A and B are shown apart, each in its own frame.
Chain A
Amino acid sequence: MKPLLRKITNPFLIYVLIVLGISVPVYYVVIDGIWKSELDEHNKIIVEKTAFELNSLRLSDEKLQHSITIWNSIQPSTDIRKPGANDSGKDSIYTIEKQKSYVSHENIDRFRCLSTVVQINGAPYRFTVETNIEESIETIAAIAATTLFFFIMLVLGLLILSRRISTKVWAPFRDTVEKLKSFNLNSQHHITFQQTDTIEFHELNQSLEKLLKKNVAVYRSQKEFTENASHELQTPLAILKNKLDILLQSPNLTTEQYLQIEDMHKALSRSARINRNLLLLAKIDNSQFEHSEILRLDSLLLQSIATMLEHFEQKQLTVEKQIQPDVLSTGNSSLTEILINNLLLNAIRYSPSNNLIAIQLNKTHLEISNPGEVALDSDMLFKRFSKLSKNKLGSGLGLAIVLEIAQYQGWTVQYRFDNKRHIFSVQF
């Protein structure tokens, strides 16, 4: 993953580098060409001018010979001599490189030469002119250095500018991202994005707002549905329960019928409980509970243990308590009571008689353990309706509620199986 800015600038920079790289030989060819043609013209002018001047002196052949010798010795870059026997009489233009004659270390110069035949006093002479021209390596080096300088300027400029512009241009986008990051479907807060004059961001924000609005609405109606459905179920359940109560009073009831009514009562209580639990979960989901109360966990726990004492005793379960005094946390006391009760009830229900239940509370965690044979699937354990035991009495929601309450209050719940014991711990 790379930031967008680098993704855009990197190809730009590579492109600039390639273009500038190609420009170096191109510049060289162009500059060298211009230079050569200028020097060729210059050489030609020298030849013509010298020949014209020598002709206009109207010297005798002897004097002319003398002048040419002097000329040749004081003008090192030109050479006038009689053409040899095998002189073709043609002009030639060429470039040569030679060592400087007056320095000992290696110093090669490049020359542009013109060799042509001129008529002086009616006789043909081969006139050669050499003009110093910049060595190609020096030209290339100069162009490359200049190009490099401009490349660096471009890169720096591009980086600084794009960074500056991007902080400004992308500000609304970053704002949108931040708001989305902190958005929680549960909290139902309406998001409004920053105003922007960038068309793309404006469109993005508009579609996001639309999407969120719809999602929030769907989510809300779904949650309301759960809550309403549970509420609506309470009344028919109440009617059933009441009718059974009345049926129970029939004077000619047989014991068999009584037991059937009792079974119906129990099934009804279970469905009422499932319904109540679903309602509770929906309400936690809807954040309908205040959860900033200061809780005295030790006293809440002791209270719950006291309420359940007779159920511990009935199964001859020994309770081993290690409860620190003054354990405080924040949350909702009713919910916390439900959490503690569910954990305690689980321990009671799933322990064989004559066993030990250990309850430990300190500043950081609550731990409740009961004996068991094999470890339970900790992934499935806290899921709704994922009953792992064959015990048919539970609502299948007890531990889901424990998890939900813990998360709601910012706590974590863990299960582990250690030394043949199921251990549930809640970290505050």
Chain B
Amino acid sequence: MKILIIEDEEELAEGIATYLCEQQYLCEFASTLHDALDKIQLFQYDCILLDIGLPDGNGLRLLEELKKDNKQDGVIIISAKNALDDKIAGLQLGADDYLTKPFHLSELAARIYSLMRRKQFNNSNIVNINEIQINLLAKTVLANNHPVILTKKEFDLLMFFIGNKNRVISKSTLAEHLSGDIADMLDNHDFVYAHVKNLKKKLQDAGTYPYIKTVYGTGYKWEHQSDTSI
């Protein structure tokens, strides 16, 4: 899977690439709008990570180009601005998601994963991970062909884990994912523990392999060996 990272901050682009490459994504870089426009003309990407504030122009122009050429590349906007207007403008121009700096790489990975599944399967929206089958649209889960009833947060967590297979995910990262902006204002992140525990229990009750492991006392990891597809 090919990803184009359009970001003028080299360090940031490298960090993203390091994290994603280990998940067998192929990353290419563009640090200017000009560069990026050239690349999208020449190649097809599965996903484009787009920083709006580029040195030679507004990244939204790239979205206009993609729309004009009727290209289907998935686009996730990465912006330092949390401006609602930018968000709306971006999504209206055909971006698929919007992420505000600073973000966790695991959050980005999870979003890329969901985006790719949606694009890849032509809206059939079914993801199979060994004995687990997930319907992205209906947000339902089957384990060994038996329905597993998950709450919205548990489903969110499941998607986050399978978007970050074999990655250590800290409790605070999950807290931020689950409660967004307010996470760091909460005294403790024990609610994460409760949700993870429930998810683990529900999956295990349905007879699945214990994918979710606790690491370093408070971190988690979705351990997954047999499935090589990403």
Contacts and interface: CB of A to CB of B under 8 A. Distances in A.
Interface of A: 231-232, 234-235, 237-243, 245-246, 248-249, 253, 255, 258-259, 261-262, 265-266, 268-270, 272-273, 276, 279, 288, 307-308, 310-311, 314-315, 334, 341, 345, 348-349, 391, 393-395, 398
Contacts of A394: 185
A272 B185 CA distance: 12
A245 B104 contact: yes
B121 interface: no
B172 A266 contact: yes
B224 interface: no
Contacts of A272: 102, 184
B24 interface: no
B84, B194, B216 — most chain A CB neighbours (10 Å): B216
Nearest to A273: B184
Given A234-B100, A241-B105, A315-B187, 10 more contacts: A234-B80, A238-B101, A248-B169, A258-B170, A258-B215, A265-B172, A266-B172, A276-B181, A311-B191, A348-B186
Nearest to B105: A245
A265 B170 contact: yes
B170 A243 contact: no
Given A235-B101, A242-B12, A258 B216 contact: yes
B102 A248 contact: no
A268 B102 contact: yes
B184 A249 contact: no
Contacts of A393: 184-187
Nearest to A258: B216
Contacts of A261: 170
A113 B40 CA distance: 129
Contacts of B53: 231
A273 B185 contact: yes
Interface of B: 9, 11-12, 15-16, 18-19, 22, 53, 80-84, 100-106, 167-173, 176, 179, 181-187, 190-191, 194, 215-219
A318 B172 CA distance: 26
B80 A398 contact: no
Top 3 A-B residue pairs of the complex, sorted by shortest distance between their CB atoms: A242-B15, A238-B102, A258-B216
Contacts of B191: 310-311, 314
Contacts of B173: 245, 265
B186 A349 contact: yes
B182 A245 contact: no
B19 A245 contact: yes
22 contacts: A234-B101, A237-B101, A241-B102, A241-B104, A242-B104, A246-B19, A248-B168, A249-B22, A249-B168, A253-B168, A259-B218, A262-B172, A262-B219, A266-B184, A269-B176, A270-B184, A272-B184, A341-B182, A345-B182, A345-B186, A393-B186, A393-B187
Nearest to A315: B187
A395 B185 contact: yes
A246 B172 contact: no
Nearest to A255: B216
Contact of B12 (A235, A269, A308, A315): A235
Contacts of B194: 310, 314
B102 A234 contact: yes
Nearest to A348: B186
B84 to A, nearest CB: 6
